[in-house]
Amino acid sequence: ATPLAVTVGMGRGAENGILFKSSEAIQRVGAIKHVVLDKTGTITRGEQVVTDTITVAGLSGERLIEMAGSVERGSQHPIATAILAEADRLGVDTTMPDDVQSSSGQGVTAVWKGQRVRVGNQRFIEQEASIDPTLQTRAAELQRQAKTVMWIACEGEVVGLIAVADTIKPESAEAIARLHGQGIVVSMLTGDNQHTAAAVASQVGIDDVMAEVLPGEKTERIRELQSRGEFTAMVGDGINDAPALAQADVGIAIGTGTDVAIEAADVTLLGGELRGVSRAVKLSALTMRNIK
């Protein structure tokens, strides 16, 4: 039978927007030694907005958005949504591409108006176009401002950059400070670029960053921490995060996220409230004390 203290603890959690999936979950949370946070949608709001467009070779900014936006019509990624919103804002019409290939955690490639167009991160673009050092410098500047930079190549030539920015949740820094206060190590795990990830991490007080990790590799990173004997929690919101949530000793879904993430998690924090992680740890400790 479930001890009364556990039932009470789960009820108190629910009152505070912390949904424990099982009585076992509330008992495990108190043992967390390492919390891994997804960046986009967990530390940040996950609502990306286009902030900069940089073009080369006489291409206009609007034409670049038209080209990238058309190709992104074949993608479900939040970055695709941001670029298409920018096209709308500018009154630019995008058209459906052909032969769309989405590369998870890297970008998208398609044929648009008979030309091969690729939109994605630098490593992805480097596979088919050479990177101009001046443009590379501009990209690095944008990344230091915590922006995510997409490269656009057309027929094997780089034609421009599009940067998107996201807003850090106002409570993220405090949520992380509270976890540190509980003796918990906090890391960030993201598919985004190293520089962008480091800029976000420094703003919220995280010192351990795992960046440029492909979706399929996120589970492996969690397993590595576990093999060091660390009881590890993963906090995330996206479809990409579900396997890592399932692998972690405790999977915590941010409630504004996808159903898939919530399904894979042991704990759901309603309203995307990141401070709920340290609250859950405290509630678990109190509950376990009442059992003994």
Q: By CB under 6 A, tell whether 192 contacts ligand ADP.
A: yes
Q: By CB under 6 A, tell whether 108 contacts ligand ADP.
A: yes
- Contact between 254 and 274 under an 8 Å Cβ cutoff? The reply is yes
Report d(CA 269, CA 201) in Å as an integer.
21
Choice from 106, 247, 258, 287 touching ligand ADP (CB under 6 A): 106
How many chain residues are in contact with ligand ADP, going by CB under 6 A? 22
Least distance from ligand ADP to the Cβ atom of residue 57, Å:
21
Q: By CB under 5 A, tell whether 240 contacts Mg ion.
A: yes
74 binds, among Mg ion, ligand ADP, none (CB under 5 to 8 A by kind): none
Quick one: three-class SS letters along the chain? CCCHHHHHHHHHHHHCCEEECCHHHHHHHCCCCEEEEEHHHHHECCCCEEEEEEECCCCCHHHHHHHHHHHHCCCCCHHHHHHHHHHHHHCCCCCCCEEEEEECCCEEEEEECCEEEEEECHHHHCCCCCCCHHHHHHHHHHHHCCCEEEEEEECCEEEEEEEEECCECCCHHHHHHHHHHCCCEEEEECCCCHHHHHHHHHHHCCCEEECCCCHHHHHHHHHHHHHCCCCEEEEECCHHHHHHHHHCCEEEEECCCCHHHHHHCCEEEHHHCCCHHHHHHHHHHHHHHHHC
Rg (CA), the chain: 21
Q: By CB under 6 A, tell whether 42 contacts ligand ADP.
A: no
Least distance from ligand ADP to the Cβ atom of residue 119, Å:
5
Q: Which of the stretches 5-13, 118-126, 247-255, 260-268 binds ligand ADP when contact is defined by CB under 6 A? A: 118-126
Q: Which of the stretches 28-36, 187-195, 225-233, 274-282 binds ligand ADP when contact is defined by CB under 6 A? A: 187-195
Residue 38 annotated among the catalytic residues of the structure: yes
Q: By CB under 6 A, tell whether 37 contacts ligand ADP.
A: no
Window 56-75: contact mask with ligand ADP (x via CB under 6 A): ----------------x--x
Q: By CB under 6 A, tell whether 107 contacts ligand ADP.
A: yes
Q: By CB under 6 A, tell whether 190 contacts ligand ADP.
A: yes
Choice from 13, 30, 97, 105 touching ligand ADP (CB under 6 A): 105
Nearest to ligand ADP by Cβ — which residue? 191
Nearest CB to Mg ion, comparing residues 97 and 238: 238
Q: Which residues, 6 or more positions from 206, have their beta carbon under 8 angstroms from its beta carbon?
A: 37, 43, 176, 186, 187, 188
Nearest CB to Mg ion, comparing residues 69 and 238: 238
Which residues are at the interface with Mg ion (CB under 5 A)? 238, 240
- Give contact residues for ligand ADP (rule: CB under 6 A): 39-40, 72, 75, 77, 79-80, 105-108, 119-121, 148, 150, 190-192, 215, 238, 240
Catalytic residues: 38
